[in-house]
Amino acid sequence: MARSKIITRVDSQRPAQPGVNEDLFGFVPMVPVMVSCVSAEGRPNIIPLISWSFANRWPPKITIGICEGEYTPSYFVRASYRMILATGEFVVNFPDAALWEQMIQTGDLSANDPSVDKFEAAGLTPGRSLVVQAPTIEECPINIECVVREHLSLGSHHLFAGEIVAYHQYGEVVRQEASADVTVIEYAPVEGQSGKRLVWHSLPRMEDIG
Ligand SMILES: Cc1cc2nc3c(=O)[nH]c(=O)nc-3n(C[C@H](O)[C@H](O)[C@H](O)COP(=O)(O)O)c2cc1C
């Protein structure tokens, strides 16, 4: 038997003026990451974003989408957009749940304000990357260094495709297991730190509520 669903037509109109309703047409599953970058002058920055994807296998590439126009109070030209356009580099840092507050804080601030230092404001530690100039965020268990190979405007957001040039992980993987709704990765201890288990919920659950 076919399942019945509620279907609505999506209006692709961009907002005509600031302050209009910014709500999405519906819930879209989103996985936030923290992208770090650096200006051509050497000023580091962080932008949390949900518009990312592991987009290509050979060479491995990650895409990110960053707002490049002025639309509403929360959709403005990101400082990170200008920085990544200028340097052609970024690092995708995967926060764990313990970093939620810091992640939201870095999204509430913009480096368009010259006095903003998001690493300092959120108490995060910049780390040295292997290939790119942009720093890693050391508190994140996984950091992926990327060099921009392609980029294009999609409308409100600019899409950067970055080739993965270096991969940092919490420790050596000693166990990895994936099932329909959970992936578990166990990392061996690294000097001065404990072993850790990363638990990733791969698919949402639809639960009966009667
Ligand atoms: C969870 C989360 C997800 C976000 N996703 C995006 C995104 O995909 N693209 C984007 O341009 N901004 C996104 N933002 C908004 C930016 O992070 C925010 O505007 C930030 O202040 C931009 O900083 P910048 O001007 O220093 O680059 C997101 C914010 C949060 C908290």
| Domain residue extents for the chain | 33-169, 171-205
Query: Is the separation of the CB atoms in 129 and 122 below 8 Å?
Result: no
Atom 23, ligand 1: residue with shortest CA distance: 110
Residue-wise pLDDT tens digits, 88-134: 999 999 999 999 999 999 999 999 999 999 999 999 999 999 999 99
Residue-wise pLDDT tens digits, 52-74: 999 999 999 999 999 999 988 89
**HSE, side-chain direction, 13 A CA sphere, residue 150:** 10
Output the pLDDT for position 23. 82
Q: Which residues contact 103 (CB under 8 A, 6 or more apart)?
A: 32, 34, 48, 95
Q: Record the pTM.
A: 0.95
Query: Is the separation of the CB atoms in 124 and 52 below 8 Å?
Result: no
Helix (H) or strand (E) holding 82: helix 79-87
Rounded CA separation 138/80 (Å): 19
CA of 82 to the centre of ligand 1 (A): 13
pLDDT band at 20 (very low <50, low <70, confident <90, very high): low
Q: Per CATH, is 33-169 categorized as 2.30.30.40?
A: no
Atom 10, ligand 1: residue with shortest CA distance: 66
Pocket, ligand 1, Cβ cutoff 6 A: 32, 45, 47-51, 65-67, 78-80, 104, 107, 109-112
